[in-house]
Amino acid sequence: MQMFLTTIGFFALTGFFIWRHLQAGGASAGGASVRASGPPCARCSAPVPSGSQFCPGCGIPQQIFEVVSAGISAPMSADGTGGAMRALVRADMCVGCATCVAACPEDGALTMRGKLAVVDNALCKGHGDCVAACPVGAISVNAGSAANRVQVPLIDVNFETNVPGVYIVGELGGRGLIKNAINEGKIAAEHVARVLPPGEPRSDGDDTTVDVAIVGSGPAGLSAGLEAHRRHLRYVVLEQGTLADTVRKYPRHKLLLAEPVSIPLYGDLWIADASKETLLEVWQTIVANTGLDVQAGQKVVNIQRDGSLFRLQTDKATYTARRVVLAMGRRGTPRKLGVAGEELDKVFYDIVEMEAFAGRRVMVVGGGDSAVESALGLANQQGTEVLLSYRGDALSRVKDRNVEKFERAIAAGKVKALFKSQIREIREDVVVIDIDGDKTILPNDHVFVRIGGEAPYAFLERLGIEIVTKDVPIGGDSARAG
């Protein structure tokens, strides 16, 4: 009996200590959990555990608020009074040519992170060699942190601008990666659905008024459209070109990666490692199967507020909307040559990424800074043959810095200039060009038309949308189209 009671007492005491240990452990774990909590969710303010990709409250990936949460930049000193001099990369201007990396004398101070040049704060000495080397003027040397500097519209955590009812998503907002664009489009449409619950009577507009007009059918616009469609909002997607025109203009058979795995996917639009053709085919199937209303070939030329509504004027029709989502890209509307063959996949109006054209025969058309900068960046790619075609007899509206670089590139045999020339026709593997009155056919893989166009920020400013400069801390997956 005594043995039995002793055994019972032993197990009871052991159980008590185990219980105490578990309680202490739980409290410790709970304390650690509290201590390990990161900043609250930018959108719903729920506590987000440190290291978590998603908010446990609203499910939004926190990485998406990198640019939104970044503070507006103060002017930076160039005389060293504000701290050590370091290189600063404009992430919205960098074209990923890596010229700066080769020019930097400090090993590892400048590296490529995907398609963006990134400065290592600890290694950068502020020499400025990268500034002189950059073909697009995307680098400066300043006193302050080596963050990614971007010029972006002012938006909040719902991607609504300072103009109530107007949202900006995707590349135009400074974060052009496909995953980011998909996520932002969905978040904006979700907010529209919250402020305009489907099915409720509307006091503004009439039967022709849509709840939301979405401008652009790239990944951001399609994602916003799919969410509006799923939530039974009245909507229209307006596209000046063809479906997903920006992606369609990537090089043929280019492998589009699903982008950094650190960017979670929140939107519903499919994205995976695939060729451009596969991606477009899947997206076209999604549009067909869902019945998504995409009005292609309608360029939005003006948006005006009319009381609580917005009137969107395209080159074909007028639409009235309660909310507007702008997903039209950062490049605006480019000016075209108007020649036969310009609709071919080999013709581009901007450069998505320089390295995609290594070893190719390319022609850049134009005589301004954008044309010269594009030619210089392409010439830095291994094995690329670069011709620049300009109808004038000399460069006359180009920055002195770019003229000097261009002349050095010509002398080094990296670029050949064709002055007093005009393209007459573009074919699959050649261009027909008039050079000082003589018609010539030249082998060609790609044509880049850089003759200007309407900048999107001028369009935004006419709407009253504020454009600000922000310094986004290095370490995120910010801001390059992919």
Domains located in the chain, CATH noted: 70-152 (3.30.70.20), 160-332 (3.50.50.60), 335-454 (3.50.50.60)
Q: What is the pLDDT of residue 32?
A: 38
Helix axis angle for 400-411 and 369-379, nearest 10°, is: 40
Residue 382, Cβ density class (10 Å: 0-12 exposed, 13-18 middle, ≥19 buried): exposed
- Low-confidence stretches of the chain (pLDDT < 50) are 1-7, 10-11, 13-35, 76-82, 252-265, 475-482
CB 148 within 8 A of CB 56: no
Instruction: Identify the CA nearest to 220 among candidates 274, 282, 257, 271.
Output: 271
Q: What is the maximum alpha-carbon separation in the chain?
A: 118
Phi, psi for 407 (deg, rounded to 5) = -65, -35
Phi, psi for 179 (deg, rounded to 5) = -60, -45
CA distances to 174, 414, 480 from 352, rounded to whole Å, are 14, 21, 9
CB 322 within 8 A of CB 205: yes
Instruction: Identify the CA nearest to 481 among candidates 354, 361, 292, 386.
Output: 354
Indicate the length of the chain as a whole number.
Answer: 482
Q: What is the pLDDT of residue 6?
A: 45
Phi, psi for 132 (deg, rounded to 5) = -65, -30
Tokens 């063809």, residue located:
242
CB 282 within 8 A of CB 268: no
Q: Which strand (E) or helix (H) includes residue 346?
A: none
Q: What is the pLDDT of residues 427-450, one digit of tens each?
A: 999 999 999 999 999 999 999 999
Q: What is the pLDDT of residue 283?
A: 78
Phi, psi for 311 (deg, rounded to 5) = -110, 120
Give the separation between CA 387 and CA 286, rounded to whole angstroms.
Answer: 40
